[in-house]
């Protein structure tokens, strides 16, 4: 599946998924799932709530497949929708469990408070820029960085097996990919 859909453009995957192609749907999940997860977590959500936000975004895509005006930008649409779902969910959680008043709250809690929504949105935007940079990279960097983000506890051996490379190559490849990612991000920041 990965080989067949690897070079297919996101817009084409969206159209194929809308017509019931499971491989296209799986490819969309593979390409954009990690960015969506990072976006939800950057909004200050815990793992369970982040999962809910990501699932809600996938549901929105399923409901809106035929109405997306720019299918080629489905990745950005998914990240933006995830961010909106995460912000909505974070607001609901705050209403369900309001923060204690300053008199009730210990002094140290103020220093460790969850970031406010503005910070969360900025963090999510930053995560989106980072994932767009990862998506612009060639293989094996794109797959290696995705795996590092989605399975941070994966050891060198597991990464080597998943990527089909010798275990001794994982470390140097990771270092090169991270340097390349830093260059891409720095270049894009300079242009902004």
* Closest C-alpha among 51, 6, 53 to residue 30: 6
* Overall CATH class of domain 2-115: mainly alpha
Q: Where are the domains of the chain?
A: 2-115, 136-192
> What's the pTM?
0.52
Note down pLDDT in tens along the chain; length 192 residues.
Answer: 445 666 788 889 999 988 889 999 989 988 888 888 888 888 888 888 989 999 999 999 988 887 888 888 888 889 889 999 998 888 877 776 665 555 555 554 444 444 455 555 556 667 777 888 888 889 889 888 888 877 767 788 888 888 899 989 988 998 999 899 888 888 877 665
The matching CATH number, chosen from 1.10.3470, 3.40.1420, 1.10.10, 1.20.120, for 136-192 is: 1.10.10
Q: What angle do CA 121, 122, 128 make, to 5 degrees?
A: 90
Q: What's the chain look like in SS3?
A: CHHHHCCCCHHHHHHHHHCCCHHHHHHHHHHHHHHHHHHHHHCCCCHHHHHHHHHHHHHHHHHHHHHCCCHHHHHHHHHHHHHHHHHHHHHHHHHHCCCCCCCCCCHHHHHCCCCCHHHHHHHHHHHHHHHHHHHCCCCCHHHHHHHHHHCCCCCHHHHHHHHCCCHHHHHHHHHHHHHHHHHHHHHHHHHC
């Amino acid at each position: 599946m990965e080989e067949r859909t690897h070079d297919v453009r996101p817009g084409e995957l969206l159209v194929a998924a809308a017509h019931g192609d499971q491989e296209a749907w799986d490819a969309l999940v593979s390409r954009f799932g990690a960015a969506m997860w990072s976006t939800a977590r950057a909004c200050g959500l815990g793992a369970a709530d982040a999962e809910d936000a990501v699932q809600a975004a996938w549901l929105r895509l399923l409901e809106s497949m035929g109405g997306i005006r720019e299918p080629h930008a489905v990745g950005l649409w998914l990240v933006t929708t995830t961010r909106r779902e995460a912000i909505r969910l974070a607001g609901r959680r705050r209403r369900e469990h309001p923060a204690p008043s300053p008199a009730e709250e210990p002094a140290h809690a103020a220093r460790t408070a969850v970031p406010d929504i503005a910070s969360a949105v900025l963090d999510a935007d930053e995560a989106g820029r980072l994932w767009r940079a990862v998506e612009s990279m060639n293989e094996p960097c794109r797959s290696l960085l995705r795996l590092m983000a989605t399975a941070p506890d994966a050891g060198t051996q597991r990464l080597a097996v998943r990527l089909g490379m010798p275990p001794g190559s994982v470390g140097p490849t990771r270092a090169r990919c991270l340097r390349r990612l830093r260059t891409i991000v720095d270049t894009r920041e300079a242009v902004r």
